[in-house]
Structure 1
Amino acid sequence: MARRRITQDTFDAVVKENIEEFEMDADEALREAVEQFESQGVDLSCIVKVVPNILSDEKQEEQTHEVLQALDSLRVRNDSSSSTERDMMVNLKCFTQQCSLGFAQRYLAAQKDAYATILSCCKNSVEEREALLASLSALAALTDGQPDLLDPEGKDLLLLILNKYQTDDSVMCVGVRTVHHCCLKHEQNRQDLVKAGVLPLLTGALAQRSGCAELVKEACAALRVMTFDDDVRVPFGHAHEHAKMIVLEHNGLKVIIEAAKAHKDNISILSELCATLSRLAVRNEFCQDICDLGGLKFMMTLLADSFESQDLVRQVLSAIRAVAGNDDVKDAVVNAGGVQLIIIAMNRHMSNAHVCEQGCACLCVLALRKPNNCKVIMETGGALAAMQAMKAHPNDFNLQKQACMLLRNLVSRMRNFSQPILEMGAEALITQALQTHQDCGDVGRAALRDLGCQVELRELWTGKKGSLSN
């Protein structure tokens, strides 16, 4: 059921009433307004929960929020022939700072037509680097979480700027960040920008400007967003097609792997690169290409050297899981000592459900249709690590599901492993997962069945004809 919403003006009026009518101080008035609306089931996620400033003039007093003050100043400067570039940049930076405080500030600004004003600033400053950098930063901040703001004029301007400033790391960083914000959860923007030629600009930034760590990180994140299928408003997107284009037409795999080698000590960049690689491993031959280009060897080394970084370990495991979809790569991972590294990572970060989930998922993929790999996983303690993770995180559905699938894969072609796994307590853990997580039903019952346990399988359809009205 959708929660009720109110306007910013309504919220501000209640805060003002609390101050004037009930003589509350500002903090108390604000707190009282928040509690009042939340108790009524009102969604305040788009409301700026700050007492607005009071602007005084000769005629009246007016309340307004700082983000709107900055926006109004921008409009005045934009329309005034006497305003200087310095004045404009000061106001742009103030607006950007306000938008960076939270989504509510950005949403309020957008409701007051901030997009048209900021886009006008960008257009007017295309030839002036410093002014453009300030204007584009404001656009990037405004569109964060609001991709619907971008219109055809804005798309054309973004492409113009990215083409014009390909050798300027700072402008490219902000421009690529804007592309990222405008493509997240917006399929049409993705398709339009891809058709307009944004992909070679992004891969080109990785290849040609690989020395700039911030640009590498931004370009990688933008490329990854192009492979998302996260817009609930469309029945299906072009995520797979975009991934193929990045790999086949723009040499994306090699570019990303080379960029990773250039930033071996930067954990945040390596996490981004691994996350993007995992999104591009969408075909069997792409998985093999990553291995042939040295990507798998690099990931194995990275995992061995970075056990202390939970986020990096999680992203490396996710990438290994993706490329191991290829059966030959499965064997390469096992032969390179990948099973041991995965289990060490799980044991090192047993308190982190996300790391354990990815570790179970990796082992699950490696065990699929591979009896010899199952033997290595069992001998190295993979089943035990998975069950310890199940005990540590009983309420994490994704981990429980991956662990159940792993246990099933281990015994589906190696029945002799059933008894050792049962002796570790698998039946009780799987049964608990079934009771706690309804969506674990199919994988959990399948695991119990293949382990030789007594399980009640539901008959979803008998195949008998019957009336649809019954």
Structure 2
Amino acid sequence: MAKRRITQETFDQVVLENIEDFDMDADEALSEAIEQFESQGVDLSNIVKAVPKASSEETMDEQTHKVLQVLESLRCHLDSAASLVEGLKLFTEQCSLGFAQRHLAAQKEAYPTILSCCRHASDDKEALSAALAALSVLTDGQPDLLDADGGNFLIGVLRAHRDDPDLTCLAARAMRHCCLKHEQNRQDLVKAGALALLTGAVARHIPRPDVVKEACAALRVMTFDDDVRVPFGHAHEHAKMIVLEHDGMRVIVEASKAHPDNPSVLSELCATLARLAVRNEFCQDVVDLGGLKFMMTLLADSLDCPDLVKQVLSALRAIAGNDDVKDAIVNAGGIEIIVMAINRHIGNAQVCEQGCAALCVLALRKPNNCKVIMESGGALAALQAMKAHQAEVTVQKQSCMLLRNLVARTRDFSQSILDMGAEALIGQALATHRDCGDVARAALRDLGCQVELRELWTGKKGSLTR
């Protein structure tokens, strides 16, 4: 059930009443208000939990928060370059404190103010940088704020300042925030040429890790299908456009080779690569461009970095959708190193999930690969992951699917897997996680265990036609 919400004004009024009517000090009044609303089931995630200050010493009846004071100051100094930069920096600092500050600022018409600042700052790099930073932080978690003028402004910055890495980085970050969980913004920006500008930014500024990371992150968001307000998005189409029209696969693989010692950049590049491997030939392109060899070396050299390991495993999982690439991964020693990664990070649920998922794809329709997985301890690693993360449904599902794939085309491994304790762990997953029902039953069935296969509907009671 959705939680109740209140306005900032209601919360502030209760805080002030606690101070004025009950003689509480500021901290006590604030704590009392928070406790009061939370006990009533009110969601305070969008509320600035601070005592409002008077806007001036003479007008104690007019209370406001620091972010709103800074916003008002910005409106008064749009024509002063020095004051504008300082005000934008203060606004960015306030909005960076949390979503509540950004939400409050947006309610008080901060977006048109910041967009006006962006236009006033177009001829001054320092002011434009400050304006882009403010726009980026304001739209973080609030992509609905972006309008056509804002989208055109971001496209214009990327075009006009394509040779400036700092402005390109800031514009790409703002674009990413505006596109996350917002399908219409993605489609509008793609139509305006965002994909060409972002892939061009990666290629043009390969030596700059910050630009590469931000531009790839923005490209990756363009391939998301995360807006619950639309029945379906253009994620697949955008991924194809990045690869076919803008040479995105080659650009990203080359960028990966340029930053072998930067885990955060490599994580983002691998995550983007995984989002682009949406067609059989795209998976093969990664191998042909040297991406597979690079990823295998990267995984071997970075086993102690769980975030990077997770993203490399995700990329391997994605490109293994191609049967020829499956063989290339296995021939390169991929199975052994994936099992090693799972065992090394058995306490990390995300690594276990991606590792089991990668092995699951490698085992699909490939009996010879199943043999290598068994010989390398892949089944045991999956069961250990199930045991270590009993509350993580994704780990349980991927492990069940892997175990099923290992025995789907040959029963030779069934007894060995059962001797490792698979039946009890799969049964526990079945009992604990409703979402594991189908995959867990399928795994038990193919392992030769007793399993109840329920018929949810037989079509006997009534007709579908009138």
Name the TM-score, length of structure 1 as normaliser.
0.97
Deviation at 1:460, TM superposition (A): 2.3
- The correspondence of residues 245-260 of structure 1 with structure 2, limited to 5 A, is 245-260=241-256
Deviation at 1:57, TM superposition (A): 4.0
Summarize deviations over 1:209-247 as a string: whole Å, max 9, x none: 111111100001000000000001100000000000000
Q: Distance in 2 between matches of 1:439 and 1:277?
A: 28
**CA separation of 1:58/1:419 partners in 2, compared to 1, >3 Å: closer, same or farther?**
closer
Q: Secondary structure at the match of 2:63?
A: strand
Which amino acid counterpart does residue 418 of structure 1 have in structure 2? Answer: S
- Counterpart residue number, 1:422: 418
Q: Distance in 2 between matches of 1:59 and 1:281?
A: 60
Summarize deviations over 1:301-345 as a string: whole Å, max 9, x none: 000000010100000000000000000000111110001100110
Q: Does 1:216 align with 2:212?
A: yes
Deviation at 1:461, TM superposition (A): 2.6
- The correspondence of residues 3-152 of structure 1 with structure 2, limited to 5 A, is 3-78=3-78, 84-152=80-148
- Counterpart residue number, 1:195: 191
Are the counterparts in 1 of residues 339 and 377 from structure 2 also a CA contact under 8 Å? Answer: yes
Q: Distance in 1 between matches of 2:59 and 2:52?
A: 19
- Counterpart residue number, 1:278: 274
Summarize deviations over 1:250-301 as a string: whole Å, max 9, x none: 0000000100111100000000000000000000110000111111111100
Q: Distance in 1 between matches of 2:63 and 2:316?
A: 55
- Counterpart residue number, 2:400: 404
Which amino acid counterpart does residue 163 of structure 2 have in structure 1? Answer: T
**CA separation of 1:59/1:202 partners in 2, compared to 1, >3 Å: closer, same or farther?**
closer
Identity of aligned residues (%): 72
Deviation at 1:62, TM superposition (A): 2.5
Q: Secondary structure at the match of 2:62?
A: strand
**CA separation of 1:59/1:177 partners in 2, compared to 1, >3 Å: closer, same or farther?**
closer
Extract unaligned runs of 5+ from structure 2.
none
Q: Distance in 2 between matches of 1:261 and 1:56?
A: 56
Deviation at 1:6, TM superposition (A): 0.5
Q: Distance in 1 between matches of 2:60 and 2:204?
A: 57
- The correspondence of residues 298-309 of structure 1 with structure 2, limited to 5 A, is 298-309=294-305
Q: Distance in 1 between matches of 2:347 and 2:256?
A: 28
Deviation at 1:379, TM superposition (A): 0.5
- Counterpart residue number, 1:233: 229
Q: Distance in 2 between matches of 1:217 and 1:56?
A: 44
Deviation at 1:2, TM superposition (A): 1.6
Q: Does 1:321 align with 2:317?
A: yes
Q: Secondary structure at the match of 1:369?
A: coil
Q: Distance in 2 between matches of 1:377 and 1:463?
A: 41
Q: Distance in 2 between matches of 1:60 and 1:141?
A: 30
- Counterpart residue number, 1:349: 345
Q: Does 1:177 align with 2:161?
A: no
**CA separation of 1:466/1:215 partners in 2, compared to 1, >3 Å: closer, same or farther?**
same
Which of 308, 323, 328 is residue 332 of structure 1 equivalent to? 328
Q: Distance in 1 between matches of 2:190 and 2:463?
A: 49
Which of 453, 459, 465 is residue 457 of structure 1 equivalent to? 453
Q: Distance in 1 between matches of 2:59 and 2:25?
A: 25
Q: Secondary structure at the match of 2:448?
A: coil
Deviation at 1:56, TM superposition (A): 2.8
Q: Distance in 2 between matches of 1:466 and 1:418?
A: 41
Q: Distance in 1 between matches of 2:403 and 2:461?
A: 37
Q: Distance in 1 between matches of 2:60 and 2:217?
A: 48
Name the stretch that deviates more: 264-273 or 54-63: 54-63
- Counterpart residue number, 1:263: 259
Which amino acid counterpart does residue 289 of structure 2 have in structure 1? Answer: L
Deviation at 1:22, TM superposition (A): 1.2
Q: Distance in 2 between matches of 1:159 and 1:334?
A: 43
Q: Distance in 2 between matches of 1:100 and 1:56?
A: 24
Name the stretch that deviates more: 157-166 or 55-64: 55-64
Which amino acid counterpart does residue 27 of structure 1 have in structure 2? Answer: D
Which amino acid counterpart does residue 304 of structure 2 have in structure 1? Answer: E
Summarize deviations over 1:367-401 as a string: whole Å, max 9, x none: 00000000000011000010011111111100000
Q: Distance in 2 between matches of 1:58 and 1:292?
A: 72
Q: CA RMSD in A?
A: 1.2
Q: Does 1:381 align with 2:414?
A: no
Name the stretch that deviates more: 63-72 or 458-467: 458-467
Are the counterparts in 1 of residues 55 and 69 from structure 2 also a CA contact under 8 Å? Answer: no
Name the TM-score, length of structure 2 as normaliser.
0.98
Q: Secondary structure at the match of 1:163?
A: helix
Name the stretch that deviates more: 446-455 or 83-92: 83-92
Which amino acid counterpart does residue 370 of structure 2 have in structure 1? Answer: C
Q: Distance in 1 between matches of 2:57 and 2:95?
A: 26
**CA separation of 1:59/1:426 partners in 2, compared to 1, >3 Å: closer, same or farther?**
closer
Which amino acid counterpart does residue 9 of structure 2 have in structure 1? Answer: D
Summarize deviations over 1:402-432 as a string: whole Å, max 9, x none: 0000000000112111111111111111000
Q: Does 1:413 align with 2:420?
A: no
Q: Distance in 2 between matches of 1:25 and 1:299?
A: 58
Extract unaligned runs of 5+ from structure 1.
none
Residue-pair matches, total: 465
